[in-house]
Amino acid sequence: MTQHKFVPPSGAFTRSVPVRFSHCDPAGIVYFPHYFDMFNGLIEDWYTQELGYDYADLIMGSQYGFPFVHIECDFKVPSRMGDIINLTLLVERIGRSSLRIAIVCHQNGIERLCARIVTAMMSLEARKAVPLPQALRDAIESYRQRTTDGEPP
């Protein structure tokens, strides 16, 4: 199997996750839905630690939700108990109320899996999509620019 190299862009938001006993299946590798749970945790941490928005406040306080509208994922190299894997979040497109991000899971410079995710910002009360507030949009766009090496939007 061809290995895909991956070096996160400078400044990209990356978090390490230890692969635990509880993540692994009888075949000894990560049971795949756990990756999606890790992705959700990464997005939470990105909002809170990188963008400066408290994710819990956005949801429980302001009553916004960020449901996934679309996800696709290629699984390339399995992970085993005891591995420490890295997850990097990159922004691909900022829509009116939607956000397209990529999450790459990698270790030692090799891609293990790669996901593309579209989320939408929703009002939980009105149960419909709302435009991303300008300040949040600016924070995301600033992150996108500083992690794409100056590429035009």
Contact footprint for a copy of itself (CB under 8 A) = 18, 20-22, 24-29, 31-34, 36-37, 40-41, 44, 54-57, 59-60, 65, 67-75, 78, 80-82, 124
Of 8 and 75, the one with the shorter C-beta distance to a copy of itself is 75
State the DSSP H helix or E strand holding residue 33, giving kind and residue range, or none if neither.
helix 33-45
Of 73 and 130, the one with the shorter C-beta distance to a copy of itself is 73
State the DSSP H helix or E strand holding residue 74, giving kind and residue range, or none if neither.
strand 68-75
Instruction: Give min distance, CB of 139 to a copy of itself, in A.
Output: 19
Question: What is the rounded distance in angstroms from the CA atom of residue 31 to the CA atom of residue 21?
Answer: 11
Of 90 and 117, the one with the shorter C-beta distance to a copy of itself is 117
Instruction: Give min distance, CB of 31 to a copy of itself, in A.
Output: 6
User: Residue 152, exposed/middle/buried by CB under 10 A (0-12, 13-18, 19+)?
Assistant: exposed
